[in-house]
Copies of this chain bind each other. A is one copy, B any other.
Amino acid sequence: MKKNEKHTKFVLTDELISKILDFIKSSDDNSILETFSNYHHADIAEIIEELNSEEATYIIKLLDSEKTSDVLMELDDDYREKILKNLSIKEIAEEVEELDSDDATDIISELPEEKQKKVISKIIDAEHKADIKELLKYDEDSAGGLMAKELIKVNENWTVTRCVKEMRSQASEVTRVHSVYVIDNDDILLGRLSLKDLLVANPKTKIRSIYKKNVDHVYDTDPADSVASTMQKYDLGAIPVVNKKKKLLGRITIDDIVDLIKEEAEEDYQLAAGILQDVDVDDTIFELTKARLPWLIVGLIGGIGAAFVMVGFDEILIQNEILFYFTPLIAAMAGNVGVQSSAIIVQGLANDDIRGSINNRLFKETLLSILNGVILAILLFLFIYFWKGDTNIALALSVALVAVVIVAGIIGTFIPLFLNKRGIDPAIATGPFITTSNDIFGILIYFMVAKLILQI
């Protein structure tokens, strides 16, 4: 039910923000309405996010809910929640009334349970109300949780003329046409009608004889990420959602999938960087701490573990203190190799690129680690030889480095593959987890190999 809004290239400036703040301070409603009348809802959302939630609520209450409903959808979840708290049940219902069923359901599902029911009861459009109630039943990470009820469907028994007439009335309810789905009398999805074919067909032709069969579709219970990969693989702008009996329930459009793909990529990146919750730069220090501290504590425990390992080798310290100077190097190399190899595996798993056995992957990573390890070891050997002139020490350090690189590569390859087999998101394994375990193993292997070679 979105309207098309014109908008010119928008740039958010400090001047604009302070102008709007002045308008709010002086309750100059006309100037606010005039300023915002030129902007697209995505631009308004950018402006709103620079205000505090009281100022934002003032704007939201002032503008038409036809516009603000779309603005609300563009806001960050946390921020939207704050604004919704400031709105009355009736005001929320007005916003929800303007949204497509999928967005409306998203907003309502963010409310506390008792508030949900009250808002739903205030929705005037009976069909919209029923749609939202139906969509609320789905898991938000399923196709059913992503789909909107708004779509264009035509009956196989209609003529082209009737079809165009019915499409006209349905189109007023749908933001973007994308595809026209063909159903039978029981609402079973049969196929889709291309606009091209509709344009060229004789007005009296039955839809039955011109539609395309075997349209791509997903089931309402399919997980969201499999919907995303299907739509991406087959370059689909929209995909219909059906139940087990192939009854047409709704459709998912590519713009929702774009957001999903981006969120997933960002989440993987954050996990790899040791950030546990979805946060962004503008979150509070408390939220950022909650997201960052857990992994740092894991790192701390790992560091204490490494210290214990080193205590166990303290007789080396007395004879060959130089070995101790290189523990940070060994730990860093173990960590870097582990992160590199796990990142490649995690990405391969995310893109469904990994086939064949775990053993094959481990074998390849071992060969790769030997190659990288030997090159690095030669560099380290030459450096220590020219610095200290001690062949034994240089040899011990270099051989230890090769061993550490190999083990780090194997751990980095094995852990994400193993977690994936167990049904755990492998992205959680990359970053600090691999780094920390590789630190400890790396230092342990390093001292063991050095001890062996130097015969201490």
A196 at the interface (CB under 8 A from B): yes
Q: Which of A266, A288, A289, A336 has the most B CB atoms < 10 Å from its CB?
A: A336
A339 to B274, Cβ gap below 8 A? yes
* A105 at the B interface (CB under 8 A): no
Chain B residues closer than 8 Å to A255, beta-carbon distance: 235, 237, 254
A259 to B297, CA, bound (A): 37
| A214 partner residues in chain B, CB cutoff 8 A | 6-8
Per the bound structure, the CA–CA distance linking A275 and B339 in Å amounts to 9
Partner of A285, one of B342, B364, B380: B364
A418 contacts B by Cβ under 8 Å: no
Q: Residue A281 at the B interface, CB < 8 A?
A: yes
Interface 0/1 of A237-280, CB less than 8 Å to B: 10000000000000000110111011001101110111100011
State in angstroms the CA–CA spacing of A258 and B289 once bound together: 32
Which residues on B sit within 8 Å (CB–CB) of A223? none
- CB-defined interface of A178-204 with B at 8 Å, one 1/0 digit per residue? 100000000000000011100110000
Q: Does A335 contact B (CB under 8 A)?
A: yes
**CB pair A347 B194 closer than 8 Å:** no
- Smallest CB gap from A275: residue in B: B340
CA distance A257 to B232 in the complex (A): 11
Is the C-beta of A355 less than 8 angstroms from some C-beta in chain B? yes
Which chain B residue shows the least CB distance to A333?
Answer: B299
Say how far A153's CB is from chain B's closest CB, in angstroms: 15
Distance, CA A431 to CA B274, complexed state (A): 11
Closest partner residue, chain B, to A311 (CB atom): B325
Q: How would residues 319 to 332 of chain A score, 1 for a CB under 8 Å from any chain B CB and 0 otherwise?
A: 00100111111111
Among candidates B42, B195, B282, B345, residue contacting A233 with C-beta atoms closer than 8 Å: B42
Which of B326, B345, B436 is the one whose CB lies under 8 Å from A332? B436
Interface string of A1-33 (1 = CB under 8 A from B): 000101110001000000000000000000000
Q: Which range contains the number of A residues in contact with the other chain? A: 35 or more
A448 interface residue per 8 A CB criterion: no
Is A168 part of the binding interface, using a Cβ–Cβ cutoff of 8 Å? yes
A143-186 contact mask (Cβ, 8 Å, vs B): 1 or 0: 00000000000000000000010011001100011100000000
**A310 interface hit (Cβ, 8 Å):** yes
Nearest B residue to A370, CB-CB: B285
Given A266-B347, A327-B327, 7 extra CB contacts under 8 A? A6-B213, A254-B254, A281-B345, A282-B353, A295-B340, A304-B383, A310-B328
Chain A residues proximal to chain B, CB less than 8 Å: 4, 6-8, 12, 40, 42, 50, 164, 167-168, 171-172, 176-178, 194-196, 199-200, 212-214, 216, 232-235, 237, 254-255, 257-259, 261-262, 265-266, 268-270, 272-275, 279-282, 285, 288-289, 292-293, 295-297, 299-300, 302-304, 306-307, 310-311, 314, 317, 321, 324-333, 335-337, 339-340, 342-345, 347-348, 351, 353-355, 361, 364, 367-368, 371-372, 375-376, 379-380, 383, 430-432, 435-436, 439, 443
List 5 tightest A-B contacts by C-beta distance, closest first: A303-B329, A273-B343, A265-B265, A6-B214, A281-B348
Task: Show 8 residue pairs from A and B whose CB-CB distance is below 8 angstroms, ordered by the A residue.
Answer: A168-B196, A232-B262, A257-B258, A262-B265, A285-B364, A296-B372, A300-B379, A306-B329
